[in-house]
Amino acid sequence: MKKNLKIAIIAIGVICCSFILTSAKKPKLTKITMWYGGTVSEAGEPPADWIAYDIIREKLGIDLKLTMLPSNENDRDVKLNAAAASKSLPDVFTVNREPWLNMINNKMLASVDDMYEKMPHRTSVMYDKYAKSYTSVNGVSYGLASPGSIPRNEGLCIRKDWLDKLGLPVPVTLDDFVKVMKAFTFDDPDGNGKDDTYGFGAFVEIYPHQEGFGRRFEPIMGAFGVEGTWSMSKEHPGLNVLRPEYYEAVEFIKKLCDEKVIDPNWLVYRKDDFRASWKQGKFGCMREQNAALAAESNYEPFDKNFPNGEWIVIEPPVGPRGEKSTGCWIQGFRITAISAKAEKKKDAIARLFEWMSSDEGYYLLGWGQKGVNYVLDENGVPVTKGLPDPKKGFTKPANQKFTQLRAYVFFNGDIELYSRYPTYKAPYSGKTMSALDVLKKMDSLSYTPAVGSDAMPLPDADIKRFYEQGIIEFVTGKRAMTRDSWNDFIEQFKKIGGKSWNDAGVRYARENQLLW
């Protein structure tokens, strides 16, 4: 009996010790609430048994609670503003710039400056000096700005086969550029014996924060240092149209029009018309986007029409003062903020984000489970070909709930880009083509930093109309291209609100640390 009692006591002791040791090995989880912008909102939230939840709990000691934000930007703002008003913001959340600024003013956000060094790998691939500056107010960073759309993905493109046919080198200066544009227009570069080509092709492509002639003319405007609507430089911030160099640029474009080296349809072309025209060989120089130029389906019509044709990407022309620019580099950023009440959780949040950017997190959140949702091809790119069950591929709608956080790990890295832009053989010429190679060339060109200019104040409709119609009237001859006429135009522009718009923009840029 005593022997049995002794055994029981020992057993209870072992159990107690085991319980204590087990408890010691499993510290209390840090609960983190995160409101995120889903990649495919209609696919729904990740399921409760999602493998990522288990990994985050076991490896990071974090109990992550995810809530998808509305896909509509206005609805998203309403939800976050309501949470801010009721002091119930989550620990981590993605937010648009305007409500984010209001939250900073109301002291609702934590600084993230000390987080960058705690997630060294993620910081190295996600948060460069432009990203850090974008979320800094008065020298303090209040958010993590991850890259959105691919920047610097357009370039000045020229028909190399036309240059070779006419024995011309790649143009370097504006004078070279004019010489080549004239030859492309008047010297039958395609050799068909017809007067049916032009030097330069364009259309008026205007977006918010890109008034004036639009981005297709930026390599020309850049030769005068006035590309884009706003100058974001500390030396001369403000609207470019108010700078004297802008007159010179408009005068130069009028010269190209007068000499009839620009495809005259540029004023009526829309994007589809413009792209159909270069594929038909109507002009030999343009600013174009990498995929629009070289992706398989986009290049095929040109390849069929001109199997011996060849577009190359070149540096923009150098202007009279040595300036050159392909255009404005406007990087879209996605802001992820930390609420002030989560100040003590920042170490855990940094640990979570650093894991997201590790190989394990990057592939899991970006493509799903290896061998289930994707396999790697010979180049290490995730693909669905060869999966045991093709229905579980990451591209299938039913499986996109597993990759709702991919926007939080993607940074336009090579793996993502190889997946998006595969190499192929053009069907008619047999040339090996890659939109990614073109992108890398475009990315290396001279660009003007204008990060944050897309957040600048917008003009009202009357100012915008006066500005855009006015400069078109100068190049088409409806207004005299003289200094006096231009000065009158600028004075009237200022009076109807252009000066107030400029002053508001400069003030906003300075207050939000957007000047370079």
User: From residue 91, how far is each of 50, 178, 338, 349 by CA, in Å?
Assistant: 21, 57, 6, 9
Mean pLDDT for each 10-residue chunk of the chain (516 residues)? 47 47 66 94 91 97 96 89 97 92 95 98 93 87 89 96 98 98 98 97 83 92 96 93 97 97 96 95 97 93 97 98 94 92 98 98 96 92 92 90 94 87 92 94 94 85 94 96 98 98 93 79
pLDDT at residue 162, as a whole number = 98
- 3-class DSSP assignment, residue 277: helix
pLDDT at residue 150, as a whole number = 85
pLDDT at residue 12, as a whole number = 47
Q: How far is CA 72 from the centre of its chain?
A: 19
pLDDT at residue 4, as a whole number = 52
pLDDT at residue 25, as a whole number = 56
pLDDT at residue 136, as a whole number = 87
User: From residue 314, how far is each of 81, 159, 288 by CA, in Å?
Assistant: 46, 10, 11
Tokens at 484, concatenated: 């006096």
pTM of the shown model: 0.77
Contact 109, 340 (CB under 8 A): yes
Task: Tell me the C-alpha distance between 183 and 172, whole Å.
Answer: 15
- 3-class DSSP assignment, residue 34: strand
- How many Cβ atoms from other residues are within 10 Å of residue 233's Cβ? 14
Q: At what angle do helices 296-305 and 271-279 cross, to 10 degrees?
A: 40
Task: Tell me the C-alpha distance between 78 and 31, whole Å.
Answer: 25
Strands 30-36 and 92-95: parallel
Contact 252, 246 (CB under 8 A): no
**Sign of the alpha-carbon torsion through 252, 253, 255, 259:** positive
pLDDT at residue 421, as a whole number = 87
pLDDT at residue 86, as a whole number = 96
What residue type is 116 in one-letter code? Y
Tokens at 506, concatenated: 């400069």
Contact 217, 257 (CB under 8 A): no
What is the enclosing helix (H) or strand (E) of 460?
A: none
pLDDT at residue 21, as a whole number = 44
What is the enclosing helix (H) or strand (E) of 97?
A: helix 97-105
Return the residue matching tokens 């400056």.
113
